[in-house]
Structure 1
């Protein structure tokens, strides 16, 4: 009997050892899984911190850019104020020449002709300085005006009596062909079609000259031009 019991104990020892090994292996696997999850959680916790750091860097950079922009805006405002003052003084000098010394101002700048409620500038350019229709309009805009628009028969007579200077074949006015119709630069159509006999062909603009009917010519031609602006009310 004793011999049988001893044999049984010898056989159970390796089985017991094997069970513990399996348990240890299983626990090790569980441990590894848990460790992996803990690392993953730690990384997830670190990611917002990293993003927060990047956001703080971006905010700092944006604040620097805003500061620079504010400085640029301040400089631009200073420049604009200086230009406004200069332009205002220029306008005063144009309408109220100092050389008169009588304290009186004119309804039109120096070199402009006053007629009714408008001022007209006849740009009698030399041959090399004449402009096409677009260039002429740009020049007028640079003078705070535009190519003249004729709204009444009286204005037509005024513009038709533009100077007949030798070598000048016409003065640009603010009338051109747009989609088969004669249109003024203010967008209105020419009402009195009797003022010009030519059909409105795209690419054509109108010139006037003393003692001659209005003409339709290529807008690319080089001509003199008439600018118009509202006259000041001077009491």
Structure 2
């Protein structure tokens, strides 16, 4: 406990009145000690004020938290609403695209069916042409020659209509065929007969070209008899032509030549 503070107070005691004649009235001063406690006074009123202040602080803190939560809730609702609007617009776009695709598929199916019917009818007319006694079916359509289990047709186009190797293959594909592939010497000899010497034709493309340093057929198989190409090196960009009266020859695939198409014969 801190020491008490000591204050001094003056106490003046007046004496009875003296006659006016006396020169001076003496005053007697007495000093007494008064002790004052330095500790602040605490009472019920100060405790209640402090408690009330703490309650106000708690309420202010709760109110601040509620305000923050409210702001966050408003932001969340705005973001959610924006997402809903975006998703709705995307959903509508997807529905429109789906409708367009459905219409396109239906159109394609209709066209495909029509083409299939036309192709089937074309095949019937080609392989089973009508005659005086009705239809007579053959293994190869008109203009093709059957040999072994295949049909062959050579294109003796003039120089102005000749094509490079890729172009010749594209032409064969329009006839449901591909460039001729040879499996044995017998077939090689026959293909040679389908390579007639005609003015302006230097050779007929067949389905053999150089790939990766090897002679390879369009069906993916490798050339097994290198003598057929007279040991000519397989340089990429080179393709093979056939011509009656000479051996196969390696030339640039970009040159223009005639070509020989082949496809499987029908069983009748």
Scaled to the shorter chain, the TM-score interval is 0.7 to 0.9
Counterparts of 1:26 and 1:117, CA distance in 2? 99
- Residue 184 (structure 2) pairs with residue 152 (structure 1): yes
Paired residue secondary structure (1:154): helix
Match of 1:202 in 2: 236
Match of 1:121 in 2: 153
Counterpart selection for 1:63 from 95, 98, 103: 95
**Matches for 1:1-235 after TM superposition, within 5 Å:** 27=59, 31-99=63-131, 101-161=133-193, 162-197=195-230, 198-234=232-268
Counterparts of 1:182 and 1:44, CA distance in 2? 69
Q: TM-score, normalized by length of structure 1? A: 0.82
Counterparts of 2:239 and 2:87, CA distance in 1? 60
Deviations 1:23-43 (CA, angstroms, capped at 9, x unpaired) = 868855653542342232243
Displacement of 1:174 in angstroms is 0.8
Counterparts of 1:49 and 1:204, CA distance in 2? 66
Displacement of 1:84 in angstroms is 1.1
Paired residue secondary structure (2:208): strand
Counterparts of 1:140 and 1:86, CA distance in 2? 19
Task: Show structure 1 runs of 4+ deviating over 6 A.
Answer: 19-26
Q: TM-score, normalized by length of structure 2? A: 0.73
Task: Give the conservation status (yes or no) of the 8 Å contact 2:130–2:136.
Answer: no
RMSD: 2.8
Deviations 1:101-137 (CA, angstroms, capped at 9, x unpaired) = 5321111121111112110011000110001111111
Higher helix share: 1
Counterparts of 1:27 and 1:152, CA distance in 2? 102
Match of 1:6 in 2: none
Paired residue secondary structure (1:212): coil
Q: Which has the larger radius of gyration?
A: 2
Higher strand share: 2
Displacement of 1:200 in angstroms is 2.1
Deviations 1:143-202 (CA, angstroms, capped at 9, x unpaired) = 111100111111111111122222211111111122222111111111112212122222
Paired residue secondary structure (2:103): helix
Counterparts of 1:219 and 1:190, CA distance in 2? 17
Which stretch shifts more, 36-45 or 81-90? Answer: 36-45
How many equivalent residue pairs? 223
Counterparts of 1:182 and 1:48, CA distance in 2? 65
